[in-house]
Structure 1
Amino acid sequence: MDYPELLPGTLLRRYKRFLADVRLDDGREVVAHCPNTGSMRGVNVPGCRVWLSPSDNPKRKLAWTWELIELPQPDGRLAMASVQTGRANRIVEEALRADRVPSLTGYAELRREAPVACAGEKASRLDFRLDDPERGTAFVEVKQVTLREPDGHGYFPDAVSERGRKHLEVLMDLAEAGQRAVLLFCVAHEGIDAVAPAEHLDPAYARALREAATRGVEVLAQRCEIRREGKRPVAIHLGEGLPVDLERRFTA
């Protein structure tokens, strides 16, 4: 996925969930839309370099959107992380259509926001449904991972996620009904090399994820790769697969 031309600046603060104050490199201070409504633990770091996308849509209240942040790593490198949760599904869809998710290749049809009927409950929606006359059906739910704890691992979720746990329950029901059910962690942080459930933040989700794996839900992770021209990020796409360690526990 190509980015529009991004402008660099420095994060001053994020507040009211949807707003971020940024000082652009040309000295202007602007208010940017923050498209991540979660805790942003580990990626809300004032003083770090950020990248904003501009908009000339007169109907928008804010002309800027916060897309990326550069985070210092223990080895002195800077790792870029995407804070734009709305791009995760587009990144994964592009990869699915290009057969860049190795275990999900060869499906003839892809549908977004697939409705799923669950016994005794209202219908739910999962991010993708893949269909093929020979391979059958696969349901895929995508979760973006950006939390890197000091032990170097990535963790999900970054706060209690009741919605995420309900998605796991839907996936478990599908797997037990004989359907293929997949949870795909879209790892949008260049410094993360493996993923684990964040039991220290949401023990109920961690238990549900381990249970889902035993009940037939496939748990995958792939890292986002950010292409640069010079120092400027110009594109992001789904790259290599990463290990998922369901038993790992972070202790501060």
Structure 2
Amino acid sequence: MRYPELVSGTLLRRYKRFLADVRLDDGREVVAHCPNTGSMRAVNVPGCRVWLAPSDDRRRKLAWTWELIELPQPDGEIALASVHTGRTNRIVEEALAAGRVEELADLGTVKREARVAGARLDFRLGDGEGEASYVEVKQVTLREVDGHGYFPDAVSERGRKHLEVLAGLAAQGHRAVLLFCVAHEGIRGVSPAAHLDPAYAAALRRVADQGVELLARECRFERDAGRPVGVSLGEALAVDPGRDLPVQRSI
């Protein structure tokens, strides 16, 4: 996926969930749309460099959209992370259509937003009305003090419902997959966040035993002279359902 030409600045604050104040590198202060309804734990860090997408659409209330943030890591490196959850499914869809997720290649047509069992899952793979594979995608950006990635970043009843739907599909003989899209360069493995949502962690461990497949893929960001210009789904990362983190601080 290619980004529009992004503009950099410094995050001042995020507020009212959907708004962020940013000081652009030219000194202007702007209000950007924050396309993320979650807690943004560990990626809402004032003072960090952020990347915004501009828009000249006069119908929009805000001319800027917050896309990415650069986060300093304990080793001195800078990790890029996406805050735009609306980009996640497009990144995964491109990879599925191109057969770049080996475990899910050659399964037929990729259909978005499959409605099953009173819920909406992100993708249905298959042709016709016969046996199908279902994929639910979750973006991961929470990197905790142990250097590991965790999901969710807050209590998620909707996430637990998706797990139950996937387990029901697996029981019916369908292939049911939970795919973690890791949109933080500093994360090299994923686990359920039992320290934030113990019910979700217990449910994930249970459905994994019931046939739901757990996959994780990194996001590979492309840069041109330091500017992010694109992102694609990259290598597989490990999913460890049994890992726990008792500490409730994040970096």
Partner of 1:228: 223
Q: How does 1:146-185 map to 2 (within 5 A)?
A: 146-185=141-180
Partner of 2:43: 43
Q: Aligned equivalents of 2:99 and 2:86: distance in 1? A: 21
Deviation readout 1:60-111 (Å, 9 max, x if unpaired): 1000000000000010000000000000000000000011111000122111
Runs of 4+ in structure 1 displaced over 2 angstroms? none
Partner of 1:204: 199
SS at match of 1:213: helix
Calculate percent identity across the aligned residue pairs.
72
AA of the residue aligned to 1:138: S
Q: 2:188 aligns with which of 189, 193, 207?
A: 193
TM-score (norm 1): 0.96
SS at match of 1:71: strand
AA of the residue aligned to 1:151: D
2:218 aligned with 1:218, yes or no?
A: no
Query: Aligned-residue CA RMSD in angstroms?
Result: 1.0
AA of the residue aligned to 1:226: F
Q: 1:143 aligns with which of 129, 138, 147?
A: 138
Q: Aligned equivalents of 1:57 and 1:177: distance in 2? A: 46
SS at match of 2:126: strand
Deviation readout 1:159-206 (Å, 9 max, x if unpaired): 000000000000000001111000000000000000000000000000
Instruction: Structure 1: give runs of 5+ residues left out of the alignment.
Output: none
Deviation readout 1:183-240 (Å, 9 max, x if unpaired): 0000000000000000000000000000010000001000001000011000001000
TM-score (norm 2): 0.96
CA drift of 1:115 comes to 1.1
Q: Aligned equivalents of 1:212 and 1:64: distance in 2? A: 40
Q: How does 1:48-197 map to 2 (within 5 A)?
A: 48-116=48-116, 118=117, 123-132=118-127, 136-197=131-192
Instruction: Structure 2: give runs of 5+ residues left out of the alignment.
Output: none
CA drift of 1:251 comes to 2.0
SS at match of 1:178: coil
CA drift of 1:132 comes to 4.3
